[in-house]
Structure 1
Amino acid sequence: MKSKILFFLFLSVSLFAREVIDQRGSCQINWTQGFILCEGESAQNQGKYAANLSAKVISQRNMLEVIKGVNITSEITIKSGLDSSEIIKSRVEGIVRGVQVISSKYDRNTKSSVVTTKLELGKDLLKALLSDPTLLSWNEKVEQLWNDFNILPQAIASTYTTDEKETILKLMEDLRDNSDAKKHLEKIIEQMNSSKNFTGVLLDISEITNFQKALIVKLVDEKGKEIYPSNLVSKQTLTKRNTSVGYMFGIDDAKKNKRVFDNPIEIKPSSIYKSKLSNIVLNKAQIEKINSIDKNVLKNAKIILVLGD
């Protein structure tokens, strides 16, 4: 019974999508939508309350086992934290205890229950693990990783780069002496629209056979230097997006995804960086393409990996 329940739950949310879903025992990781579903099935011949409670506990136990196998980056795993830090162990166990119950089915014939729970990769898992890296003694790399991300801006002005501030100041000066501000702005908008504005990045990695999925996938140059996401993506954006990149099957379907809709630039990397299986290498020409697009595309993590047809 339980396998059918989990199948229909996934079918209801991804009937027409070509999503990247990993089956791990009684759990499934939906990398496209950014969540984990786990089932638990109670023993038979129990009352409804006892059966539901037992099934929930088993589902939570299954969730914990799946979480252990999730990579944060190529170099950082959740399991390493659980094995070496009581702080991380407490945090992870806390979010598992608080997982959302999305389905509870009691079979009156067998007097047993199947309970399905859900955990969000970003707002639940990443936020709990990385919200205060100074307390995480289990891996110094975590603190460095989290510090690489932009601090959430305290003031609107701080969200602009120096060049952007200069542009805004120039516009203000121009408009001060221009009686027809509307016409002036319309001309600017027209010039902007005349150029090709990309709304996202599609990375076709269908030919990279040794790629490893992670919460934070990095884009690096041929020497391994990180290009994305550090110093570009805020903590808030990362946890909201669930992962630093989206995951999908099929170029055409990916183009329609709201993360990159409606005019993404397409790039086809050919390798990962050495043994770092979640670090995707971009050559010089591909990096130039990335650098030519609006920086807000990267800041908003508007990148999708296409894993195949």
Structure 2
Amino acid sequence: MGMKILKQALLMVLALLLVAGPAVAQQDAPSGEDYVQQAESGSINWDNGSMIATGVGAPPANAVNAAQARGMAKRAATVIARRNLLELIKGVQIDSSTTVENFMVSSDVVVSRIRGFLQNSQILDTAYMSDGSVEVTVGLKLRGGISDVVLPKADRFKLQAPAAAPKPEQLVPGAYTGLVVDARGLGVRPAMSPRILDEDGKELYGTVMVSREYAIQQGMAGYAKDQDKAMTNPRVGSNPMTVAAVAVKGRSRSDLVIPTAKAEEIRTQAESKEYLGQARVMILLD
């Protein structure tokens, strides 16, 4: 079991290096403190937005020779790995009430585009077993193309991207550069488009605060399970504000509730419009 966990961790590193594009290049490589959601045949790293899945193919009995048997086993393993990756994608929560599978059921266009991404998913690792079988691991970004397909249309987002983040020397002393929400102990589940509400149900953070470009390329929020790692993540800059969530809402338990007084404090800070608009948000989960 220990070797299997170690192998998955190494593969997640490969997933970031080989699959991640410019939008996530600034983030740290996956570590044991990232929030990784495990599934039977794959996993999702919710900090850097990478997914991996594995499949095993057996050599056919009617192969002409060993080389042909191994090649056919590899092709079969790749098909199975991509099928498992599809199941992983279908289960991803988009917001508090919708999964990727919900979108696929309602639109043939979505199905076609997601299958296209799957066909182009990268082979990250190939392991040849002593019995002739082959295990293949494939990887794909959740951000970028897939986000563009499944996230709400532009009218649900802020229309324009905010100005570029100021350089450290340009910041007002003590100005906040991001937001870290501690949601540990509440049974929160990660989602592509989480919201942050106050205790009166008024939205502090969501698609109306972020341009669609930012949401697609870097995700609405990063997730972590270690507070120090979250606080030092480049996503939230050098001086993030921290706040503890007091409740969770939504059918999928992905929307966070913070104290109204804290929400009002954030709303009155001029710099919050920039860091929230740039999706500089990290969420701490168990």
Task: Indicate the TM-score class for this superposition, using the shorter chain for normalisation.
Answer: 0.7 to 0.9
Partners of 2:50 and 2:142 within 8 A in 1? yes
Task: Map 1:20-59 to 2 at 5 A.
Answer: 20-44=35-59, 47-59=69-81
Partners of 2:93 and 2:252 within 8 A in 1? no
Partners of 1:221 and 1:284 within 8 A in 2? yes
Matched, 1:266 2:242: yes
Q: Once the 2 structures are TM-superposed, how far is the Cα of residue 276 of structure 1 from its aligned partner?
A: 5.8
Q: Once the 2 structures are TM-superposed, how far is the Cα of residue 83 of structure 1 from its aligned partner?
A: 2.3
- CA-based RMSD of the aligned residues comes to 2.6
Partners of 2:11 and 2:124 within 8 A in 1? no
The corresponding residue for 1:183 is none
Partners of 2:96 and 2:250 within 8 A in 1? no
Partners of 1:207 and 1:270 within 8 A in 2? no
Matched, 1:300 2:275: no
CA 1:293–1:110 in structure 2 vs 1: closer, same or farther (change >3 Å)?
farther
Partner Cα separation in structure 1 for residue 59 and residue 280 of structure 2: 47
CA 1:128–1:277 in structure 2 vs 1: closer, same or farther (change >3 Å)?
same
Partners of 1:73 and 1:216 within 8 A in 2? yes
Q: Once the 2 structures are TM-superposed, how far is the Cα of residue 257 of structure 1 from its aligned partner?
A: 0.9
Partner Cα separation in structure 1 for residue 197 and residue 252 of structure 2: 11
Q: Once the 2 structures are TM-superposed, how far is the Cα of residue 232 of structure 1 from its aligned partner?
A: 2.1
The corresponding residue for 2:166 is none
The corresponding residue for 2:211 is 234
Partner Cα separation in structure 1 for residue 208 and residue 101 of structure 2: 26
CA 1:15–1:29 in structure 2 vs 1: closer, same or farther (change >3 Å)?
closer
The corresponding residue for 1:111 is 132
TM-score relative to the length of structure 1: 0.75
Task: Map 1:19-168 to 2 at 5 A.
Answer: 19-44=34-59, 47-107=69-129, 109-130=130-151, 142-143=152-153, 146-152=154-160
Fraction of identical pairs, as percent: 27
Partners of 1:102 and 1:118 within 8 A in 2? yes
Partner Cα separation in structure 1 for residue 208 and residue 145 of structure 2: 23
Partners of 1:17 and 1:253 within 8 A in 2? no
CA 1:147–1:47 in structure 2 vs 1: closer, same or farther (change >3 Å)?
same
Partner Cα separation in structure 2 for residue 50 and residue 284 of structure 1: 60
Partner Cα separation in structure 2 for residue 302 and residue 35 of structure 1: 18
Q: Which has the higher helix share?
A: 1
CA 1:197–1:21 in structure 2 vs 1: closer, same or farther (change >3 Å)?
same
- Larger Rg, first or second structure (1 or 2): 1
CA 1:274–1:81 in structure 2 vs 1: closer, same or farther (change >3 Å)?
closer
The corresponding residue for 2:257 is 281
The corresponding residue for 1:218 is 195
Q: Once the 2 structures are TM-superposed, how far is the Cα of residue 274 of structure 1 from its aligned partner?
A: 5.6
Partner Cα separation in structure 1 for residue 223 and residue 198 of structure 2: 21
- Any unmatched runs of 5+ in structure 1? 131-141, 154-158, 161-188
The corresponding residue for 1:247 is 223
Aligned residue pairs total: 257
Bigger CA drift: 70-79 or 277-286?
277-286
Q: Once the 2 structures are TM-superposed, how far is the Cα of residue 152 of structure 1 from its aligned partner?
A: 4.8
Partner Cα separation in structure 2 for residue 268 and residue 70 of structure 1: 25
Q: Once the 2 structures are TM-superposed, how far is the Cα of residue 50 of structure 1 from its aligned partner?
A: 1.5
Partner Cα separation in structure 2 for residue 274 and residue 104 of structure 1: 40
TM-score relative to the length of structure 2: 0.81
- Any unmatched runs of 5+ in structure 2? 17-28, 61-67, 164-168
Partners of 2:176 and 2:239 within 8 A in 1? yes
Partner Cα separation in structure 2 for residue 10 and residue 98 of structure 1: 18
Partner Cα separation in structure 2 for residue 40 and residue 66 of structure 1: 13
